[in-house]
Amino acid sequence: MGFKQVLSTTGVVALTGAVLLTSAPIAAADQVRDAQWPLTAYDAAKVWKTSQGAGVTVAVVDSGVDASLPDLTGQVLPGKDFTGQGSPHQDDNGHGTGMASLIAGHGHGADGSAGVKGLAPKAKILPVRVSSGKSDKYIDDWGAGVRYAVDQGASVINLSFNDSSAYPGSKAAEAIAYAQEKGAVVVSGTGNDAGTVNYPAALPGVVAVSAVDQDLNFWSKSNTGNVTVAAPGVRTPQADPTSSSGYVVADGTSGSTAYISAIVALLRSKYPDLTAGQIINRLVKSASFVNYKDKKAPDKELGYGIARPGTALTMDIPKGPKEGPLAQASPSTSTNSGTASGDNESTSAAKEKSDSSSGSTLLIVGIAAAVIVIGIVFAVIRSRRNGSGNGGPGPGGGTPSHGAGYPPQPPTSYQQYPNTPPNPGGYPTPPGQPPQHHNPYAQ
């Protein structure tokens, strides 16, 4: 189990090694919104004047998405359950619902001012359930869910998990290549065990996401290597139907993956004529190293930098080649039909990839010199439900029984949950920046 925290008017309570958000008599959901530091960091209110993700479908290939939660009503499409053990709207784990809330939650209450709001609140979520129960294990053939999502019109595929068996040439890799050939942007977390980038993030063309914290510092548990971009992934409030209050706070690249999927949805909504590669081009060329003046792109920790949605939407960036800046998968790897054959279809797990290859597949070849501008920001990821040994080949990780699982969650020391952002801008003023620019995402 990962790290979660509880927020109430009387303090914080630790339960069975985890800290959960508890409901409070007065505006607990308002406190959840106040604690959503990525929205403050990104100056989301300003971003939403340009794009809110309307018309874009994001597939959340995960443990299901609870469509009944108040923050997600009307956002979740029918979807499909590939486990054969329930409904795509059933989430006994809470992980998939959490990712969906970070992407397309709309909050609730007066003007949606309470609860979790996603960065792309008008995008639609396609739930693809490939994990059932409270465990972190996925079905062997979760790639069938990826193919299904693409055939249903999803143009963004969110994979907030690691799978050591998704090596090049595997069924999962072929499914991802199929998605890319059909024009979808595939986003995946690098992993949470401080090793090298895990599969499927290490596959060609996949946007590999590491995490940053509220100070825009690289999260030390993020896996490194061929990283594309970074995003907020530490202490991120999100919806969770398994919590008594409906909310949890978590660390990990799962959350940062969801935030990048949301940024891609914003871009796809504003620039519907751009190819997936050209969308990724905007993503990497608008990223920034913020305080890291000594870093050069691509960096093993932050890739091309911390993603900046406002800048990505408005910066003058040439379209560039249709293929975009990332290495492409071989066309021969995705010749199978894109139609999934059934909910309970699964095959035996493919062979495990070696440690030495876990971070070498994804090659970032584009020219994307990150511009250090005052409007910068955010990133980090999370994966809050990890059993030990569910993380792939990096240090501290192993091979799950079904070949896939949420990246291992490092132990986290207890901290008081903040009711408000650290300062009015969400982040401290970057060194050398004028003090009036407290929000590095403000433009």
CATH code assigned at 164: 3.40.50.200
| Contacts for 111 with CB less than 8 Å, ≥ 6 apart | none
Domain housing 110 = 27-338
**Does the residue 128 lie in any domain?**
yes
- Tell me which residues are annotated as active site: 62, 95, 254
Evaluate whether residue 305 is within a structural domain: yes
Beta strands 156-159 and 229-232 are unpaired
Q: Does a structural domain hold residue 357? A: no
Q: Which two tokens stand for residue 165?
A: 């068996």
Q: Please give the single-letter amino acid code of residue 381.
A: I
Q: Are strands 114-117 and 185-189 parallel, antiparallel or unpaired?
A: unpaired
Question: End-to-end alpha-carbon separation of the chain, Å?
Answer: 39
- Residue the block writes with tokens 């914003």: 266
Domain membership of residue 434 (yes or no) is no
Is 374 inside a domain boundary? no
User: 285 lies in a domain?
Assistant: yes
- Is 245 within the bounds of a domain? yes
In a domain, 219, yes or no: yes
Question: CA 358, CA 121: separation in Å to the nearest integer?
Answer: 34
| Contact present, 209 and 191 (Cβ < 8 Å) | no
Please state the pTM of the whole predicted model: 0.73
Please give the pLDDT value at position 332.
Answer: 45
Q: What is the pLDDT along the chain (443 residues), one digit of tens a residue?
A: 233 332 221 122 111 122 233 222 223 557 888 899 999 999 999 999 999 999 999 999 999 999 999 999 999 999 999 999 989 999 999 999 999 999 999 999 888 888 999 999 999 999 999 998 887 788 899 999 999 999 999 999 999 999 999 999 999 999 999 999 999 999 999 999 999 999 999 999 999 999 999 999 999 999 999 999 999 999 999 999 999 889 999 999 999 999 999 999 999 999 999 999 999 999 999 999 987 888 999 999 999 999 999 999 999 999 999 999 998 876 544 434 333 333 333 223 333 333 333 333 332 333 333 333 333 333 333 333 333 333 332 322 222 223 334 333 333 222 222 222 233 222 232 333 333 323 433 33
Question: Count of domains in the chain?
Answer: 1
Residue with tokens 């913020």: 290
Predicted local confidence at residue 328, as pLDDT: 80
Neighbour tally for 433: CB within 10 Å: 17
pLDDT, residue 292, reads 83
Bridge partners (DSSP) of residue 288 are: 306
Radius of gyration over every alpha carbon of the chain, rounded to an integer in angstroms = 19
Amino acid at position 103, single letter: I
Q: How far is CA 335 from the centre of its chain?
A: 28
Beta-carbon contacts of 246 under 8 Å, excluding residues fewer than 6 positions away, are 21, 23, 69, 70, 115, 239, 240
